[in-house]
Structure 1
Amino acid sequence: MAEAEARYESRTEHAPLIGQGSRPRSVTRLGSVAASGGHFLSWFGGAWLGFSLMMLFPAVAFVRELGVFPIAFTGLFISIGALLMYFAIRRGLTAVRLVEVGELTWAVITRTDRKVSTSRDSDGRTSTSVSYDVLFMYRTTDGESCFGEINLQRPDAITDEDIELLIYDPTNPAQMEFADLLPGGLRIDSQGNTSESSRSNMLSLIPFALLMLGVLFGILMLRSLA
């Protein structure tokens, strides 16, 4: 801990002064929605749930022949997709709240551990995935030292500088987010000025479009079976 404190002091000694800006900070409605769609969970969950919803409609057509089993089976997949979307939306809304009312501070990466995981499928083939546990330290405006850990597939976004901008909940400092990892098109600088990337916002709406496409194709499939 003492070593981490010393590293934090040395790296933030000449850091630019933080400005909190006026709060609540501005986030558009589009930015709020896109924040929920700008995470891997929302992309995976949107595709999963969209496909499950698409299959629900044909399942209805086979109720007379097969009973409720097709609907119940499809409902299981819908539940999984809905759960993934729930976590993605919750993370997005948390990020929006942090941008609106959170406190800004500097964080210092104290250690990065590389993790290699190997799995074997039913055919005997092995696959390897690499992730990184990034440990970091930051201080609240009250001078409290906080430590955190985050697992990332690509840590470059928060390990390329000596100090990284971080935003945390003043009522719960353990709830925080790196500025460079904000989902969707959310952006914030060290002076508390917010902005949004239009391109990232639009791309982050794709998971929700997948849901609507799933329903649309499901209706078309149901009509073709009628």
Structure 2
Amino acid sequence: MVKREKVLEEIIEGYRNTICHRYQYENIKKTYDLPASIDEATVNQLREYFLNYMYPAHDKRVALNEAFNSLDDYTKYPQKLLKILLDAAKLIFRYGRHLPRILIAGLHAMKTFKAATNFENSLVDEAVKNEIEAPYDLVKIDALIKLLSREEIEKFIEISQSLFEILHDKVLIKKIKEVIQHLITAMRKNENSYSQSQIKGLEIGLEMITEGDALFNRLPKEDQLNLVLVISEIERDNLDYIF
């Protein structure tokens, strides 16, 4: 019997290939009404963002999984991080009662990688259960997705979509970056109380948000929303094709 870890490695590679296929500029341009600012370079950067931060290669997963797993307790109970922020007079003065909402939005944005990982693990479950073997080309990946419930996939798309909706909110993103950077600095000053993986999880999350912000900053404000809508259309059209 093929080891589950080997199946996971092959499915990660197979799903990354579907992202590469789905986010090719010429294909998107033919199908969707793109504004001039969403050019080939923007689509290429979007594709790389997916591949680097949501669906990274298998050899990068161990460190990422450890980092984000260490944040699970904080994403479930954000008040634990909020206690750190309550010592920051500057943040309290600036954001006041909005501080918890800013923190929760930042943690929500970071859930995207975990959601993608859970989705891939569901595909592995189906591959093992139904004895569908590698190589996992586009046809096999679509077949595995079809074995999942549409409701489960819709939920995953919604979580992914929420990241881009947060990135579209420039005012909120600026606040999130400041709050997370403060958390990292505070944890670094008190490393006896926090694990390196917890700190690393926040650092990777901040990098994910910062790079996403840079992607959206390529575009005029009105076209940033268009990019969010195009991503949603692409993913839902792909789902409709599969089902």
Task: Name the one with the larger helix percent.
Answer: 2
Fold agreement, TM-score > 0.5:
no
TM-score, structure 1 length as denominator? 0.29
Task: Name the one with the larger strand percent.
Answer: 1
